[in-house]
Amino acid sequence: MSKDKDSKEIQGYRQQPGKLPFSKPGSGGKNSFSKPIDLENIPVSQNGRKDQPWGPHRHDSLISGQVIGRPTALVDSAWKVTGQAQYGDDIRLPNELIGRIVRSPYHYAKILSIDCSDALNLPGVVAVATGIDAKNKFGVLPVTKDEHAMAVDKVRHAGDLIACIAAENENIAREAERLIKIEYEILESIHDIEDGLEDSEYPIHDRGQYHIGNSNIQKRVFQEFGDISSLEKNTVASHRSNWTFAGVNHGFTEPHAVVANWSPDGRLTLYTPQQVPHYVHRSLADVLEIPMHQINVHRTFVGGGFGGKSDPFPHEMCAAILARKSGRPVRITFDREEVFWVNRGRHPSKIEMNLHADSEGRICGIETDALIDGGGFASFGHVTTYYNGVLHTAPYEIGSFHYTGARVWTNKPASGAMRGHGAVNSRCAVEVGLDDLAEKLEVDPITLRLANLLPPHSATITGFRVTSIGMRECLERVKKESGWSEKFRKMPLGKGIGVGCGFFISGSGLPIHWDPNKFPHATVHLKIDMDGGVTIHTGAAEIGQGSDTVVSQSVAEVLGLPLDMIRIRSRESDTSPVDLGSYSSRVTFMNANAAISAAMKIRDELIKAASDITGASLNSLIVGDRRIFDKNDPAIGVSYLEALHKSQEEKGALISSGAYRTPPMGKTHKGAAAGLAPAYSFSAYVAEVSVDIETGKTTVDKVWAAHDCGKALNPLAVKGQIIGSCHMGLGQVLSEEMRYGRSGHLMNPDFLDYKIPSIHEMPEVIPIIVESNDPEGPFGAKEAGEGPLLPILPAVCNAVYDAIGVRTEELPITSEKVFKLVEKKCRLQGISNPLDLKSPRLEFSDLQNTLDKRAQLHSKRDIERRLNSNREEYYNGAIFGLEPTKSPEEIDDNWSVRVIPEENYLLSPRLAGSAWKHIERRNMGD
């Protein structure tokens, strides 16, 4: 159809600029005129003025210029600032009982008997439950269900649950706690992570035929990729280190709390601040032996999660059991100490990191051995064990990769997933190693990195498909903005600067509960009725990161609506489509993608209606601010409400559903799925520190933090995530540590002794957003919640070296540790006053030039690759001369993939590698 403006053929009507043709019932409201084309916010690919240095995106045509990319207040923030947000303990139901949990005082013991009769006789006690009330096991991973609501036969760490009580008030419940008489037989407990590798008389768990020897090894991983045989002969410089990382806790401000209520129709509603309501839903059904449809999981506001509220928890089961027994609602709230008993924080780890470089300054080998301390339960441990290895196979191109990892049970509170899950500690070791390699090769560590990056749209050594990469830009930005070249190895003693990088998954490729039915990872439902407001139903868990906001933004953008016309219902499993929850930085990528596809369906209906009214053709109509109009003549068009009402004819409210599922990807070896993601985020930080040479106290002065999040849908939230990640990472590197005493007891389960940096320890952070425009991400977005945590640890460690020339291999870097290292260095150099130490200096070798040139070449290569949609394949290994378009194991006989050690490896295995000395029971021959 002709779109000629002057043509009198056009049916329908033209809206007079600045005049409302007529008003609609119930419209009203502010902003009565819309500015349909805000060219500044429309990308160049759609004839707008917004630059696209990384090329166009498949969602460009959906950009209406409303909200995406603008700093946006979180949609639920009004509740938070008025004190009306209801967190776990704020759910108060009439007639509620208070629940308390009886916990083990012993690290490891058999329970011989429990006598609850006195407790039950105490006036005011309504119900008591113990392990026999719920014997079914549960756990977040279906392959390692090893938790009970309460101990069934033995307790596995101090603080493990034994019984629970529901009483009229807290005082009575506490009194009843003391009346429960428990007889124990104390077993010999293990606390040292290395002891977990040995056979034991009473392994903490029994995995039946899958048990590894008689040991406490929960999971072991062996991975070898690449050309190991020529590694030795090519290596010219090596870095070797042995790290010890203390365990850290999430330290969210809201202690766990849960309310359970069985309604008169026999259904359970569980109110809980959960990151992953769906897995609680499944576990409750297992434990309570009722079908899932009889349960409504209601996610309350979540006062911080960071991974610490993503397991289904025993206390959630306890509340449901008590409420069932008592016939009344039960509320259980933890005190801070209990939060440390359930823990699920970052694993205490021992990591051996060896890096090798060849004469060309290429990273020809990474050898990692990670032994991680799982505490009493499996939790996410299976995945953590893989992540400690596979998540440092990028962003660099590497010649060979050798990883051995093991997770052992010990009698400590369980470790689990925490922001940067499994990647943080080994990333720190790699990045510090690279700094050391650069020193040995006499080159700038930033140049060394820039000359070894994988290009966009490539495959890592383990076969991960990497799409967009903004690593190079991150490094270049922090280098420039920090004034790196004037500072590195040039600052006075006690002042230092350091760099670190990060790489993280943006959603995990496989859902935890793998379903053969090809269930989507995320689903979003939309409903729009007469009033024009859009209701979003999603199960994505808002935990403060802005998940509700980003989903609302996506829908608002596609439909051309202001955010105040969107309302989101994401709390209850009864009304929300299943979502896998807020973990592995998956929400923005998966949920926003699902939201976009749901909104596109509505958009099509609205455009169709607009075409029916105006007679304009479908392809010439576009969506702008609350109007659908002809892109060639914006005066031809209808308001959003008109189009909506037209499309509601005969059928009422518009509804639609959109879903997201990851594309098939990755290799097929055992464990290949761990670490697979539809996209990856990248980051580079530079930190500047001051070290007091006499006391060893490290102060971080300033951080330049560049993060490639694909596209900042909400720059305010992305910056908030970057700064918040810095804060949490700084805690781990400077002061946070779960300290265990000689008898294995946790000594600091409180915020007085568990030292989270206060505002005075917090440096100025300059957040730098790099937008690499991921082809599959929603509007190009990836993640920003976890990745930004990784680089801060190594950046600070490297800066400390730049300041005083000592390298620590133990976190946190407390004053004592630095002091001792300085003392040792003085002794070695025969210096009595540490102020006489020389600060490290570095003269660059010829290699610097070679690397510089290579980095420049690669920079060109990368830009070409990202803009060219007909690019060829690129497999890790090309930098070493392998054919880039073929998977190396297909073309090179020396290039191998191995996931089980060969016999001769077992003659002298590394620490975690020695886990392979045991034979799995099913292979024991009996």
Partner 1 sequence: MVEFRLPMLPQPGEVVWSVKINGIDVKLNIESNAILLDVLRDQAGSLGTKRGCDMGTCGCCSVLVDGEPRLSCLTLAAELNGHEITTVEGLANGHHLHPIQKTFTEFGGSQCGFCTPGFLVVSSALLSENNDPTDEEIKTAIEGNLCRCTGFQQIVDSIRAASDIIKENNSIEDSTSAKSNPHPGFMEGG
Burial code of 188-222, b = ≥16 C-beta within 10 A, e = fewer? ebbbebeebbbebeebbbebeeebbbebbbbbbbb
The residue to which tokens 């979540």 are assigned: 302
The site for ligand FES, by CB under 6 A, has a size of: 3
Contact 155, 189 (CB under 8 A): no
DSSP 138: B
Interface residue with ligand FES, options 304, 361, 376, 658 (CB under 6 A): 304
Nearer to partner 1, 481 or 750 (CB): 750
Interface residue with ligand FES, options 31, 32, 171, 253 (CB under 6 A): 253
CB of 337 to partner 1, least distance (A): 9
Angle at 579 between CA 577 and CA 581, to 5 degrees: 145
The answer to whether residue 73 forms part of the interface with partner 1 (CB under 8 A) is yes
CB of 783 to partner 1, least distance (A): 16
Contact 725, 788 (CB under 8 A): yes
Task: Choose the contact partner of 327 out of partner 1, ligand FES, none; CB within 5 to 8 A by kind.
Answer: none
The answer to whether residue 775 forms part of the interface with ligand FES (CB under 6 A) is no
CB of 108 to partner 1, least distance (A): 26
CB of 340 to partner 1, least distance (A): 11
Task: Choose the contact partner of 639 out of partner 1, ligand FES, none; CB within 5 to 8 A by kind.
Answer: partner 1
Amino acid of residue 708: D
CA atoms of 201 and 216, how far apart (whole Å):
10
Of 36-44, 323-331, 441-449, 864-872, the window that binds partner 1 (rule: CB under 8 A) is: 36-44
Residues of span 102-161 touching partner 1 by CB under 8 A? 118, 121
Least Cα distance to 766 among 681, 685, 682 occurs for 685
105: preceding bond cis by omega (within 30 degrees): no
CA atoms of 251 and 814, how far apart (whole Å):
19
The answer to whether residue 719 forms part of the interface with partner 1 (CB under 8 A) is yes
CB of 638 to partner 1, least distance (A): 9
Q: In what order do the strands lie in the sheet with 698-708?
A: 495-505, 680-691, 698-708, 764-770
CB of 715 to ligand FES, least distance (A): 18
Interface residue with partner 1, options 395, 637, 675, 913 (CB under 8 A): 637
Least Cα distance to 533 among 559, 570, 554 occurs for 559
Residues of span 564-593 touching partner 1 by CB under 8 A? 564-565
Task: Choose the contact partner of 828 out of partner 1, ligand FES, none; CB within 5 to 8 A by kind.
Answer: none
226 — alpha (psi -120 to 50), left (phi > 0) or beta? left
Tell me which H or E stretch contains 113. strand 109-115
Interface residue with partner 1, options 49, 58, 92, 670 (CB under 8 A): 92
Residues of span 451-510 touching partner 1 by CB under 8 A? none
Interface residue with partner 1, options 43, 247, 303, 496 (CB under 8 A): 303
Nearer to ligand FES, 365 or 544 (CB): 544
Indicate the Cα dihedral angle 56, 62, 66, 67, nearest 10°: -70
Least Cα distance to 294 among 320, 266, 273 occurs for 266
Interface residue with partner 1, options 43, 57, 89, 343 (CB under 8 A): 89
Interface residue with partner 1, options 251, 361, 374, 389 (CB under 8 A): 251
Task: Choose the contact partner of 745 out of partner 1, ligand FES, none; CB within 5 to 8 A by kind.
Answer: none
Q: Write down how long the chain is.
A: 926
CA atoms of 704 and 214, how far apart (whole Å):
49
Give the CA radius of gyration of the chain.
29
CB of 43 to partner 1, least distance (A): 17
Encoded one letter per residue, x for contact with partner 1 by CB under 8 A and - for no contact, window 729-768 reads ---------------------xxx---x-xxx-x-xx---
Encoded one letter per residue, x for contact with partner 1 by CB under 8 A and - for no contact, window 685-714 reads ------------------------------
What Cα–Cα distance (Å) separates residue 840 from each residue in 435, 441, 504, 805, 823? 13, 15, 32, 6, 16
Interface residue with partner 1, options 254, 435, 444, 783 (CB under 8 A): 254
Of 469-477, 527-535, 591-599, 860-868, the window that binds partner 1 (rule: CB under 8 A) is: 527-535
| Residues of this chain that bind ligand FES (CB under 6 A) | 253, 304, 544
